Amino acid sequence: MLARNESLHYFACMNLECEILIIGAGAVGLSAGLALAQAGRKVIIAGKIDTGASARTVALFGASQKFFDRLGLLDSIRQTGEPLEVMRIIDDTGSLFRLPETNFRAREIGLEEFGTNIENRDLLDLLTTAARHYSHLTVLDDYVTQLKLGTDHIEAELGADRKIIAKLILAADGRQSPTRQFCKIASTEQSYPQVAITALLGHQRPHNNVSTEFHTRKGPFTLVPLPAKGDQPHRSSLVWMTDSQEARRLLALPSSDLTRAMEKQAHSLLGKFTLLGAMSQFPMSLMRAERLYAERVVLIGDAAHSFPPIGAQGLNLGLRDVGHSVETILAHSDPGQESVLRAYAERRTADIKLRSFGVDLLNRSLLTQMLPVDFARGAGLLALSQIGPLRRMIMREGIEPKGRTPMMMR
Ligand SMILES: Cc1cc2nc3c(=O)[nH]c(=O)nc-3n(C[C@H](O)[C@H](O)[C@H](O)COP(=O)(O)OP(=O)(O)OC[C@H]3O[C@@H](n4cnc5c(N)ncnc54)[C@H](O)[C@@H]3O)c2cc1C
């Protein structure tokens, strides 16, 4: 956690100056750094790059693909990841209003694919490699430990011997965001009685570029296509949201029993599963910052909002924060002035509220056993499966939200 210290002494520090300091070298921080560097701004990203294998992937939809295309990275992302052509929802709640499966096909809205699913570590590798190409973009592999906010600049300390002076901070330091806490920005938080277990799986049958989300009473069980790799011709990533007790039980099973449990939950759709590497687990919660800025500080990505991985929205939303913050910054000579920060917040608030609300509502509607709620969820899915124009509108909104997508992502 960052400590507030208004009277720091920096006599022994090496001073570095830049226009914009990005705190956090996750996918959001690195993407923001690249977009600003491409526009010629002098940027420092401070943060350790997570090179660990966390058995996680991200599905990047249309608007995010356009963003990476501008950065010259889309071809590499496509070569490393796998296209998502169909999104299938299977109601496995056992509800009275249980519906037949609903398929959303990219071709219905004139597209080859909705997006690309890529392993997190591969995306971070591509972003880090791209960052090396800009001489005015510096990545410092260290944490920010102290901050001092002023009316015309900010100062950030890394360890004991480095100080950065900048006009603006983009805080991309994740869900717990030490910067958000330092700025005393309040947040709405709530935890769910669920854990997401993630794994990379090999399987017997091809996925045919279909992502399948089984909606169960304990949360979604989602299989997302990955490309062939090594001796595995068929691979997918799994996000299995279930209650904490069940997650503990599953993770304690020998791997053969665990993969059998996965096959059962997947109704043997892809045949026999093989675990590829270690699994990860993430407690499920929702967090939304009540303000998106403080003096010369802007929150982006999970530092501003995070919610359960339903519908693959988190990073796509974070990249829209990046697009809007970059566009707002580039339109002004002093990126840290209050009018810039306010303009960014005005552009982002509705999108963030809508996505957080939508994910929360869907998750709760699965967890509840109340008939009226089941009926409403069933009626919603039925309308989506039967009414073509409504389905197409929802698909377009999912990949490129109307009116909320920055120009650089259109
Ligand atoms: C199981 C799962 C599946 C998901 N699937 C999808 C998906 O398919 N599509 C999608 O769009 N989203 C998905 N998401 C959400 C997505 O992963 C996140 O929204 C995204 O990774 C957030 O990126 P970020 O860079 O904002 O934060 P993070 O990835 O959390 O990065 C924050 C970084 O800040 C660093 N940091 C913290 N403190 C400091 C400090 N003091 N100084 C410097 N650095 C600091 C951290 O070390 C970290 O590297 C998924 C999430 C989960 C849990």
pLDDT for residue 250: 97
Query: Residues 110-148, buried b or exposed e (16+ Cβ, 10 A)?
Result: eeebbbbbbbbbbbbebbbebbeebeebbbbeebbbbbb
Q: How many CB atoms lie within 10 A of CB 21?
A: 28
* DSSP state, residue 234: S
Task: Examine residue 205 and state whether it is found in any structural domain, yes or no.
Answer: no
**Residue owning tokens 């552009």:** 347
Tens of pLDDT along the chain (410 residues) come to 454 443 333 344 589 999 999 999 999 999 999 999 999 999 999 999 987 767 999 999 999 999 999 999 999 999 999 999 999 999 887 765 667 788 999 999 999 999 999 999 999 999 999 999 999 999 999 999 999 999 999 999 998 789 999 999 999 999 999 999 999 999 999 999 999 999 999 999 999 999 999 999 899 999 999 999 999 999 999 999 999 999 999 999 999 999 999 999 999 999 999 999 999 999 999 999 999 999 999 999 999 999 999 888 999 999 999 999 999 999 988 999 999 999 999 999 999 999 999 888 888 877 766 666 666 666 677 666 777 777 677 778 777 787 778 999 98
pLDDT for residue 372: 62
Task: Examine residue 28 and state whether it is found in any structural domain, yes or no.
Answer: yes
3-class DSSP state for residue 404? coil
E strand or H helix that includes residue 89 = strand 86-91
For the residues of 186-205, what is the DSSP string, one character each?
Answer: -EEEEEEEEEEEEEEEEESS
pLDDT for residue 11: 40
pLDDT for residue 390: 72
Q: Give the chain's domain count.
A: 1
Q: Give the pairing type, strands 168-171 and 20-23.
A: parallel
How far is it, in rounded angstroms, from Cα 286 to Cα 308? Answer: 7
3-class DSSP state for residue 243? strand
Q: What are phi and psi of 177, to 5 degrees?
A: 10, 95
Ligand 1 contacts CB of residue 119 (under 6 A): no
Q: Determine which residue's CA is closest to atom 20 belonging to ligand 1.
A: 315
Task: Examine residue 363 and state whether it is found in any structural domain, yes or no.
Answer: yes
Centroid of chain to Cα 316: 6
Task: Examine residue 57 and state whether it is found in any structural domain, yes or no.
Answer: yes
How far is it, in rounded angstroms, from Cα 240 to Cα 247? Answer: 9
Task: Examine residue 228 and state whether it is found in any structural domain, yes or no.
Answer: no
How far is it, in rounded angstroms, from Cα 53 to Cα 388? Answer: 40
Ligand 1 contacts CB of residue 172 (under 6 A): yes
> Which atom of ligand 1 is found nearest the CA of 29?
25
Ligand 1 contacts CB of residue 398 (under 6 A): no
3-class DSSP state for residue 101? coil
The predicted model scores a pTM of: 0.93
Ligand 1: centre distance to CA 318 (Å): 9
Contact 398, 213 (CB under 8 A): no
pLDDT for residue 214: 94
> Which atom of ligand 1 is found nearest the CA of 30?
25
pLDDT for residue 122: 96
pLDDT for residue 410: 86
Contact 21, 166 (CB under 8 A): yes
Q: Which domain range does residue 10 map to?
A: 3-189+285-409
3-class DSSP state for residue 227? coil
Ligand 1 contacts CB of residue 189 (under 6 A): no
Q: What are phi and psi of 275, to 5 degrees?
A: -75, 130
Task: Examine residue 218 and state whether it is found in any structural domain, yes or no.
Answer: no
Q: How many CB atoms lie within 10 A of CB 228?
A: 12
Ligand 1 contacts CB of residue 318 (under 6 A): yes
Ligand 1 contacts CB of residue 52 (under 6 A): no
Angle at 243 between CA 242 and CA 248, to 5 degrees: 95
**Residue owning tokens 């809205």:** 109
How far is it, in rounded angstroms, from Cα 211 to Cα 42? Answer: 40
Which residues make beta-bridge pairs with 20? 43, 168
Ligand 1: centre distance to CA 268 (Å): 31
How far is it, in rounded angstroms, from Cα 153 to Cα 143? Answer: 19
Centroid of chain to Cα 294: 23
3-class DSSP state for residue 338? helix
Give Cβ neighbours of residue 42 (< 8 Å, ≥ 6 apart).
17, 18, 19, 20, 136
Ligand 1 contacts CB of residue 25 (under 6 A): yes
Task: Examine residue 194 and state whether it is found in any structural domain, yes or no.
Answer: no
Ligand 1: centre distance to CA 280 (Å): 14
Closest by CA position to 303, among listed 283, 314, 289, 319: 289
Q: What are phi and psi of 9, to 5 degrees?
A: -110, 135
E strand or H helix that includes residue 293 = strand 293-294
Task: Examine residue 234 and state whether it is found in any structural domain, yes or no.
Answer: no
For residue 394, the domain's CATH number is: 3.50.50.60
How far is it, in rounded angstroms, from Cα 267 to Cα 165? Answer: 56
Contact 142, 158 (CB under 8 A): yes
